[in-house]
Amino acid sequence: MRHSKEDKAVSHERIVEVAAARIRESGTEQPGVAEVMRAAGLTHGGFYKHFGSRDELITEAVERALTDSESRVLELTAGAEDPLAAFAEAYVSGAHRDDSASGCGVVALGTDMPRVGGPAQEAYRAQVERYLAHLQPLLGDDDARRRATVTLSAMVGAVMIARALGPTAVSDEILRDVRDAVRQRRLR
């Protein structure tokens, strides 16, 4: 049975979406091709109609995980009375901590990138730069680049640590304290 180009594009999109969620949950080493294809509702045998290798899928999934996060940040901050506070409220939160499958790829994939390297690591670097570029005007002073690096590092680190601790009082405290420091522009 032949499938149209549109069907193939829809299937490809579904595979990448599933793989992006899986790598945010468990890292780039975990999701096997068979698992991803099954979760996408497709057969393992159809994988090579879409990708030349697992590495190709992982690279595309990393890129998707990163850009999905960016689009959510842009939506959150667009038109907000205080865009930095809106960013911090959503990013440094219990909801973000608890939903790694749809959370930020920068948080989820940071420790994987040195091992993965190549195009996936380059996509990660580019996403960090886009976040920094987005934060700089929100911090708006002569030292905005440095403050953006500190702010991004604090937010990403807070979510990483909070996820490692799980939903505990200490985890909530870390999220609250970093979120408040970002909102109040106390990070220098």
What is the mean pLDDT, run by run of 10 residues, along the chain of 188 residues?
77 94 92 92 89 93 90 88 95 95 93 92 95 92 91 97 97 98 89
Asked if residues 17 and 38 have their Cβ atoms less than 8 Å apart, the reply is no
Spatial distance between the Cα atoms of 84 and 170, rounded to a whole number of angstroms: 24
Q: Report pLDDT for 4.
A: 79
Buried b (16+ CB within 10 A) or exposed e, 155-185: bbebbbebbebeeeeebeebbeebbebbbeb
pTM above 0.85, yes or no: yes
Tens digits of per-residue pLDDT, 93-119?
Answer: 999 999 999 999 999 999 999 998 999
C-alpha to C-alpha distances, 148 to 34, 123, 161, nearest whole angstrom: 40, 19, 20
Spatial distance between the Cα atoms of 14 and 72, rounded to a whole number of angstroms: 19
- Among 48, 49, 37, CA closest to 3: 49
